[in-house]
């Protein structure tokens, strides 16, 4: 029995899930209606469903970020790629004589994804062919990308009306939000791509030891290149969804700081920034933790002016809950409390000294 | 017993027992270190050498036993405690700050101060004085990382002297040093010893152990075998005590070197004038079916450079290479792998093992890389390959799901050999496959190489241990100063002959 509990506690997803369940519980206690889920007109409603829907862009971006981080890289340009992707999609719809037609929306979506792919290729080229450090290489596009988006929208916030396009971000299928289903489909595709083929283990090999992998005949350059392309494409899809939420392409605001939230979600999910071993399931949990935190701020009615402070404190608490050295410290404190014998006192004294 | 037994030991470790989950790492071991001696600690990988050192330096807590330093019982709960008690350690990978200057490293934490804070002029003068006392002249303001590993180790020793250490632990200090550097290190060690410092020396090089040590303690499987004055323990006996069985195995391998090689056929690989400016002068090498060609020479002589060019790990800018008679141009290791050539690097940790992956993932990496990422190796096939090679090479523990980085050096080397053998190569290039591993694993690897070459595998074998090269190879190519200086027949040349050849001959050309 103890060994079963031990195995559960040692599982690398245990603490991320504890953090997630804890956050939901706090909300549920503060306002029981947080846990309510109702069905109306073939749609599920409730705070938890909102979390699922709103988490889609971050899920897509964090998914790509996970693979990039596994190769020892980082992709800071995802927010800017989202802005470009949204601008491309909405500008095409805006300039079309039939903004509501399925054909127009399909053209807009495909073009936006292709442009994002090209931006991913650009990042991949800088990192894997030219050998520029990932943080610098993707910083280029992070700064320049929003300029490109502004150029596409002509400096305005492009707003359009297109029912099929709006459906991507706010529609429902089988009671569930379309955006969430898109994100889950992406998770499934990437998981199959990485784990049912040898891509995952080769990616980890390159991330752990690039030179040893090269000498073993692994196509390191191609694997790193591919990771940035994947990240670009997923950010592009995220950009399409974000633009669909408001039906406006805001080059300055779309995907702002999302790269940082994505990195946070990846790390909370147990993937090390040092590269190598990665966990897609961990990232999914990490994204839900981050998204639940954001919703919590709104739900508990914290004034906007104070919300960054609350978020900061909450992040610190979540990170501490997952920290191995905090676990060790907690175990020592617990052990010394358990025994009231002089021996226990001694242990305490040792810890203190 | 020698008279110096009268000197009370500076370090006394009695009845030391350390238990790890499922393993008794040290079992009731006694160890004594006397002032002014160099004491070698010998044993195979896993014998408990590192554990004993870590107990002495405060890294591991002991389960039972006592440690006294200078007659005082001590309990170390951190490395800082050991340092405060006067125990300093110099590791193979130097634990100093590479981005600080030599002087700053020597004096770190003990800088002379003036009213305005640290007096840098005095600091560097003091550092230079400490270095000079060891017979080392260095620009103390130069950055530490710009110096060779050997110099960095000497700086670490100078730092130990600043800390007024009574015990100096040298853990595999010579693994990456060339002969001159070892001489320099030993000169300093003798000097330190003459000041009454006790030196604990760990090395896999028996020659060096016999050159520098006064006394040897042998461990096996976590137990003490005994402590011996160096003069009373001949080399063969030491090896026997370390591995616990008679070592006829290595000599048995030598018979394979007498095998006749058919050199009338097309060579598996034939390189003519292969070179790269500033790295290697144009050199020739050829290997026939089932032949083991040894590459001998000192570190930095061009051995590694030559095989890296052959393998395409680095690009050759001149020369001509043929594989089975067909001209080839390798600009990437993958090109060589497609031609069934394998290369195991001398730097196991940086260029070989993928430390965080499992043993089975490491073994199948070569096959998987060749198949490409889309076609994942099937589980049944993977299990069969992994089981076959782990068995054939005797990887311990025999657990394919173990993280490779947790294996001992010898077993990591076996995993790398397995990775390459699993790709069914025609030619395998082994660069220092037996460096820093224990005698048992060494014998296993040599035996496997001899066995496979008898079955038709061609091998290029590089080793700093010339006995090993002479024992295995049917031909030995000798390198010096980044060029090929000639070829030696191991049947007509003994160790002294080869050493002399490396040192003096070959002033003419490679031909």
**Strand-pair partners of B200:** B39, B169
Contacts of B419 in chain A (CB under 8 A): 216
pLDDT greater at residue B355 or residue B96 = B355
Q: How confident is the model at residue B510 (pLDDT cuts 50, 70, 90)?
A: very low
Min Cα separation B337/chain A (Å): 7
With b for 16 or more beta-carbon neighbours within 10 A and e for fewer, the B473-493 pattern comes to bbbbbbbbebbbbbbbebeeb
Residue B1: is its pLDDT beyond 60? no
**Strand-pair partners of B17:** B64
Q: Are strands B215-220 and B198-202 parallel, antiparallel or unpaired?
A: unpaired
Per-residue tokens: A286: 């990490």
Element (H, E) at B427: strand B427-431
Residue A339: is its pLDDT beyond 80? no
Beta strands in B250-313 (DSSP E): 269-276, 280-287, 292-296
A residues 244-263 near B, CB within 8 Å?
A: none
Using an 8 Å Cβ cutoff, are A55 and A291 in contact?
A: yes
Find which of A224-238, A268-282, B80-94, B203-217 is predicted with most confidence, using mean pLDDT.
A224-238
Per-residue tokens: A89: 């999609």
Query: What mean pLDDT comes out for the span B368-374?
Result: 90
Using an 8 Å Cβ cutoff, are A138 and A74 in contact?
A: yes
> What pLDDT, in 10s, does the model give residues B277-318?
888 899 999 999 999 999 988 767 889 999 999 999 999 999
Q: How is A273-293 classified by DSSP, letter by letter?
A: TT-S---HHHHHHHHHHHHHH
Query: Which has the minimum average pLDDT: A140-149, B76-85, B211-220, B386-395?
Result: B76-85
* Cβ–Cβ below 8 Å for A218 and B365: yes
Which of A71, A216, A277, A351 is the best residue to mutate to test the B interface, defined by the most B CB atoms within 10 Å of its own CB?
A216
In the CATH scheme, what architecture does the domain A11-301 have? Orthogonal Bundle (1.10)
Q: What is the pLDDT of residue B343?
A: 96
Min Cα separation A197/chain B (Å): 5
Closest to B65 measured CA to CA, from B75, B80, B79:
B75
Which of B77, B78, B365, B423 is the best residue to mutate to test the A interface, defined by the most A CB atoms within 10 Å of its own CB?
B365
Residue B345 carries which DSSP code? -
- Would you tell me how many other CB atoms lie within 10 Å of the CB of residue B179? 13
Task: Give Cα separations from A114 to A109, A127, A223, A236 (angstroms).
Answer: 9, 20, 20, 8
Min Cα separation B169/chain A (Å): 28
- Would you tell me how many other CB atoms lie within 10 Å of the CB of residue A87? 29
Q: Which long-range contacts (CB under 8 A, 24 or more apart) does B379-384 make?
A: none
Contacts of B375 in chain A (CB under 8 A): 197-198
Task: Report the alpha-carbon distance of residue A142 to residue A264 in Å, rounded.
Answer: 18
Task: Give Cα separations from A11 to A5, A18, A263 (angstroms).
Answer: 10, 11, 21
Query: What mean pLDDT comes out for the span A15-43?
Result: 86
**Strand-pair partners of B198:** B167
Backbone angles phi, psi at B387, to 5 degrees: -65, -45
- Cβ-proximal residues to A181 (8 Å cutoff; 6+ apart), any chain: A173, A174
> What pLDDT, in 10s, does the model give residues A71-124?
999 999 999 999 999 999 999 999 988 888 899 999 999 999 999 999 999 999
Per-residue tokens: A225: 């290149």
Task: Report the alpha-carbon distance of residue A3 to residue A20 in Å, rounded.
Answer: 24
Delimit the domains of chain A by residue range. 11-301
Q: How is B97-146 classified by DSSP, letter by letter?
A: -TTSBHHHHHHTT---EETTEE-HHHHHHHHHHHHHHTT----TTSBGGG
Task: Report the alpha-carbon distance of residue A234 to residue A68 in Å, rounded.
Answer: 12
Query: Which has the minimum average pLDDT: A104-118, B20-34, B236-250?
Result: B236-250
Using an 8 Å Cβ cutoff, are B59 and B85 in contact?
A: no
Task: Report the alpha-carbon distance of residue A327 to residue A330 in Å, rounded.
Answer: 5
Collapse the DSSP code of B295 into the 3-class scheme (helix H, G, I; strand E, B; otherwise coil) and give the result. Answer: strand
In terms of phi and psi (left: phi > 0; alpha: psi -120 to 50; beta: otherwise), the region of B215 is beta
Quick check: bond before B397 cis, omega within 30? yes
- Cβ-proximal residues to B389 (8 Å cutoff; 6+ apart), any chain: B363, B395, B418, B421, B422
Query: Which has the minimum average pLDDT: A8-17, A277-286, B249-258, B369-378?
Result: B249-258
Residue A47: is its pLDDT beyond 80? yes
Q: State the Cα torsion A243-A247-A251-A252 to the nearest 10°.
A: -100
N- to C-terminal Cα separation, chain B: 56
Per-residue tokens: B257: 């070197």
Task: Report the alpha-carbon distance of residue B13 to residue B4 in Å, rounded.
Answer: 18
Task: Report the alpha-carbon distance of residue B147 to residue B90 in Å, rounded.
Answer: 16
Task: Report the alpha-carbon distance of residue B65 to residue B126 in Å, rounded.
Answer: 40
Distance of CA A135 to the CA centre of its chain: 18
Find which of A192-201, B18-27, B239-248, B492-501 is predicted with most confidence, using mean pLDDT.
A192-201
Question: Which runs of consecutive H residues, i.e. helices, occur in B142-273?
Answer: 149-162, 179-194, 206-212, 235-243, 249-253
Per-residue tokens: B166: 């009574």
| Predicted ipTM beyond 0.85 | no
Contacts of A219 in chain B (CB under 8 A): 334, 369, 372-373
Contacts of A277 in chain B (CB under 8 A): 356
Burial of A1 (0-12, 13-18, 19+ CB in 10 A): exposed
Closest to B55 measured CA to CA, from B37, B35, B82:
B82
Q: What is the pLDDT of residue B508?
A: 44
Query: Which has the minimum average pLDDT: A16-30, A37-51, A334-348?
Result: A334-348
Q: What is the pLDDT of residue A353?
A: 36
Residue A344: is its pLDDT beyond 50? no
Closest to A96 measured CA to CA, from A87, A108, A86:
A108
- Determine the Cα angle at B379 with ends B378 and B381, to 5°: 70
Find which of A230-239, B374-383, B449-458, B478-487 is predicted with most confidence, using mean pLDDT.
A230-239
Residue B230 carries which DSSP code? G
A211 and chain B in contact, CB less than 8 A = yes
> What pLDDT, in 10s, does the model give residues B98-132?
888 999 988 988 888 888 888 888 999 989 998 88
Contacts of A223 in chain B (CB under 8 A): 373
Element (H, E) at B414: helix B409-421
Helix (H), strand (E), coil (C) string for B8-33: CCCEEEEEEEEEECCEEEEEEEEEEE
Q: What is the pLDDT of residue A96?
A: 85
Q: How confident is the model at residue B252 (pLDDT cuts 50, 70, 90)?
A: low
- Cβ-proximal residues to B504 (8 Å cutoff; 6+ apart), any chain: none
Place of tokens 């002068």: B281
Which of B345, B357, B419 minimises the CB distance to A208?
B357
Per-residue tokens: A221: 């350059």
Burial of A218 (0-12, 13-18, 19+ CB in 10 A): buried
Task: Report the alpha-carbon distance of residue B191 to residue B161 in Å, rounded.
Answer: 11
Task: Report the alpha-carbon distance of residue A39 to residue A64 in Å, rounded.
Answer: 33
Q: How is A50-110 classified by DSSP, letter by letter?
A: HHHHHTHHHHHHHHHHHHHHHTT---TTHHHHHHHHHHHHHHHHHTSS-TTSHHHHHHHHH
* Cβ–Cβ below 8 Å for B376 and A196: yes
Place of tokens 């004594």: B32
B353 and chain A in contact, CB less than 8 A = yes
> What is the residue-averaged pLDDT of chain B?
86
Q: What is the pLDDT of residue B476?
A: 93
* Cβ–Cβ below 8 Å for A216 and B377: no
Task: Report the alpha-carbon distance of residue A74 to residue B284 in Å, rounded.
Answer: 44
Backbone angles phi, psi at A241, to 5 degrees: -70, -45
Element (H, E) at B482: none
Task: Report the alpha-carbon distance of residue B220 to residue A94 in Å, rounded.
Answer: 79
Q: What is the pLDDT of residue B254?
A: 58
Query: What mean pLDDT comes out for the span A149-177?
Result: 89
Min Cα separation A118/chain B (Å): 23
Task: Report the alpha-carbon distance of residue A298 to residue A307 in Å, rounded.
Answer: 9
Element (H, E) at A256: none
Element (H, E) at B216: strand B215-220
Percent of chain A whose predicted confidence (pLDDT) is above 90: 54
């Amino acid at each position: 029995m103890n060994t079963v509990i031990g195995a559960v506690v040692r599982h690398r997803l245990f603490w991320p899930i504890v953090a997630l369940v804890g956050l939901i519980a706090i909300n549920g206690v503060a306002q029981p209606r947080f846990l309510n889920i109702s069905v109306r007109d073939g749609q599920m409603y409730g705070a938890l469903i909102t979390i699922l829907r709103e988490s889609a862009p971050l899920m897509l971006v964090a998914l790509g970020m996970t693979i990039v981080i596994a190769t020892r890289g980082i992709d800071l340009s995802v927010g800017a790629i989202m802005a470009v992707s949204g601008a491309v999609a909405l500008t095409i719809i805006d300039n079309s004589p039939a903004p509501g037609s399925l054909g127009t929306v399909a053209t807009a979506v495909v073009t936006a994804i292709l442009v994002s792919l090209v931006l991913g290729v650009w990042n991949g080229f800088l990192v894997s062919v030219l050998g520029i450090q990932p943080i610098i290489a993707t910083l280029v596009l992070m700064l320049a990308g929003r300029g490109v988006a502004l150029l596409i929208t002509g400096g305005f916030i492009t707003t359009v009306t297109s029912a099929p396009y709006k459906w991507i971000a706010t529609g429902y299928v089988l009671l569930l939000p379309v955006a969430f289903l898109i994100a889950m489909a992406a998770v499934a595709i990437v998981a199959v791509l990485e784990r049912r083929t040898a891509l995952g283990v080769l990616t980890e090999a390159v991330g752990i030891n690039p030179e040893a992998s090269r000498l073993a005949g692994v196509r390191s350059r191609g694997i790193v290149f591919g990771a940035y392309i994947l990240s670009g494409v997923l950010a592009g899809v995220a950009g399409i969804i974000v633009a669909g939420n408001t039906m406006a392409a805001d080059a300055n605001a779309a995907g702002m700081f999302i790269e940082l939230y994505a990195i946070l979600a990846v790390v909370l999910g147990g993937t090390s920034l040092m590269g190598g071993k990665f966990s897609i399931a961990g990232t999914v949990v990490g994204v839900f933790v981050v998204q639940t935190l954001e919703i919590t701020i709104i739900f508990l009615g914290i004034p906007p002016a104070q919300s960054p402070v609350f978020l900061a404190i909450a992040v610190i608490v979540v990170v501490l809950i997952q920290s191995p050295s905090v676990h060790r410290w907690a175990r020592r404190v617990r052990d010394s409390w358990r025994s009231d014998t002089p021996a226990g006192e001694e242990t305490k004294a040792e810890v203190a000294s | 017993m020698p008279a110096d037994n009268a000197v009370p030991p500076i370090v006394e470790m009695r009845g030391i027992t350390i238990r790890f989950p499922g393993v008794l790492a040290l079992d009731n071991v006694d160890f004594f270190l006397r002032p002014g001696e160099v004491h070698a600690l010998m044993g195979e990988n896993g014998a408990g050498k590192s554990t004993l050192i870590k107990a002495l330096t405060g890294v591991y807590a002991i389960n039972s036993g006592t440690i006294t330093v200078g007659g005082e019982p001590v309990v170390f709960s951190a490395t800082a405690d050991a340092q405060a008690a006067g125990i300093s350690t110099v590791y193979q990978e130097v634990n100093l700050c590479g981005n600080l200057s030599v002087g700053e490293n020597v004096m770190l934490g003990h800088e002379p101060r003036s009213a305005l804070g640290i007096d840098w002029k005095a600091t560097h003068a003091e550092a230079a004085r400490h270095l000079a006392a060891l017979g080392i002249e260095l620009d103390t303001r130069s950055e530490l990382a710009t110096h060779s590993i050997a110099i960095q180790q000497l700086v670490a020793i100078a730092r130990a002297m600043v800390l007024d250490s009574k015990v100096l632990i040298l853990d595999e200090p010579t693994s990456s040093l060339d002969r001159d550097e070892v001489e320099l290190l030993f000169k300093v060690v003798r000097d330190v010893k003459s000041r009454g410092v006790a030196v604990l020396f760990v090395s896999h090089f028996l020659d060096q152990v016999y050159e520098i040590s006064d006394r040897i303690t042998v461990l096996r499987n976590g137990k003490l075998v005994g402590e011996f004055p160096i003069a009373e323990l001949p080399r063969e006996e030491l090896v026997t005590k370390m591995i616990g069985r008679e070592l006829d195995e290595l000599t048995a391998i030598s018979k394979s070197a007498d095998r006749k090689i058919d050199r009338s056929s097309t060579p598996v690989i034939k390189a003519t004038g292969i070179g790269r400016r500033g790295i290697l002068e144009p050199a020739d090498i050829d290997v026939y079916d089932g032949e083991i060609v040894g590459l001998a020479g000192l570190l930095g002589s061009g051995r590694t450079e030559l095989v890296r060019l052959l393998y395409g790990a680095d690009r050759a800018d001149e020369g001509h290479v043929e594989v089975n008679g067909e001209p080839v141009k390798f600009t990437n290791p993958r090109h060589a792998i497609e031609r069934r050539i394998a290369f195991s690097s001398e730097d196991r940790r940086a260029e070989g093992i993928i430390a965080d992956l499992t043993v089975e993932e490491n073994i199948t990496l070569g096959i998987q890389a060749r198949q490409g990422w889309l076609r994942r190796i099937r589980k049944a096939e993977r299990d069969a390959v992994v089981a076959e090679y782990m068995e054939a090479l005797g990887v311990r523990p025999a657990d394919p799901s173990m993280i490779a980085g947790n294996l001992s050096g010898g077993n990591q080397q076996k995993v790398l050999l397995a990775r390459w053998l699993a790709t069914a190569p025609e030619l395998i290039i082994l660069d220092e496959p037996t460096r820093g591993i224990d005698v048992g694993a060494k014998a296993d690897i040599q035996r496997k190489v001899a066995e496979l070459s008898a079955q038709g595998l061609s091998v290029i074998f590089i080793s700093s241990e010339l006995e090993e090269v002479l024992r295995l190879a049917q031909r030995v190519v000798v390198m010096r100063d980044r060029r090929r200086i000639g070829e030696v027949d191991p049947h007509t040349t003994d160790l002294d002959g080869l050493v002399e050849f490396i040192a003096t001959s070959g002033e003419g050309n490679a031909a």
